Amino acid sequence: MAIAPDNAQRLRAAGLRVTQPRIVVMDAVHLHPHAHTDSIYTFARTVLPAVSRQAVYDVLDALTSVGLVRRIQPAGHAARYEMRVGDNHHHIVCRSCGLIADADCAVGEAPCLSPSHNHGFVVDEAEVIYWGSCPECASKNLVTARDHSPIQSTGKEHA
């Protein structure tokens, strides 16, 4: 189990009161990056059985508002939360199982990361979401595709 940062100190520094629900929710997000609200709520209930779902939503909203937690919501998915804030990292999402992983940087030619016209906005972040299949789902898809191929292999093609 990963050791959580000093969440009480981080709450105080952000101007928030230190409460058990806030500490527990921060621990949940720290231990389970990219977790959705239901997962965070389930974790919180194991530590604080009396915590309500609404309290977890309220804590996540407060933590997001002060920048202690980042909320991401890939299209078609429930909101997810992570404690990795303060950088402009991106995400990779598996279309099959919904697994989300961090991508530190977009590499190569990336004209979309700098808008051609900012329309007067002061741009401070670019959000990129890569979509594909995680290794496990990609492996399953290859096996499924082979099993349903109209041309069956005899195993002698490479002999």
Where is 130: in which H helix or E strand? strand 129-132
More confident residue, 26 or 152: 26
% the chain with pLDDT above 70: 81
pLDDT at residue 150 greater than cutoff 50: no
Split at pLDDT 50, 70, 90, the class of 90 is confident
Q: Report whether pLDDT(136) > 70.
A: yes
Sign of CA dihedral 112, 92, 102, 25: positive
Q: Does domain 1-85 have CATH number 1.10.10.10?
A: yes
% of the chain exceeding 90 in pLDDT: 55
How many residues would you count in the chain? 159
Residue extent(s) of CATH 3.30.1490.190 domains in the chain: 87-149
Q: State the CATH architecture for 87-149.
A: 2-Layer Sandwich (3.30)
Confidence of residue 58 (pLDDT cuts 50, 70, 90): very high
The pLDDT value recorded for residue 151 is: 42
pLDDT in tens, 116-129: 788 888 877 777 88
Rounded mean pLDDT of 75-89?
A: 89
11: amino acid identity, one letter: L
Residues of the chain with CATH 1.10.10.10: 1-85
Per-position b or e across 121-150, b if 16+ CB within 10 A of its CB: eeeeeeeeeeeebbeebeeeeeeeeeeeee
For 80-115, b where at least 16 C-beta lie within 10 A, e where not — what string? bbbbeeeeebbbbbbeeebebeeeeeeeeeeeeeee
Among 43-52, 80-89, 91-100, 134-143, the minimum mean pLDDT is found in 134-143
Q: What is the largest CA-CA distance in the chain?
A: 70
What is the per-residue pLDDT for 35?
Answer: 94
Ranges of H-type helices in 32-158:
37-47, 53-65, 135-147
Q: Please tell me the pTM assigned to this model.
A: 0.75
Residue 102, pLDDT above cutoff 60: yes
| CA 11 to the chain's CA centroid | 21
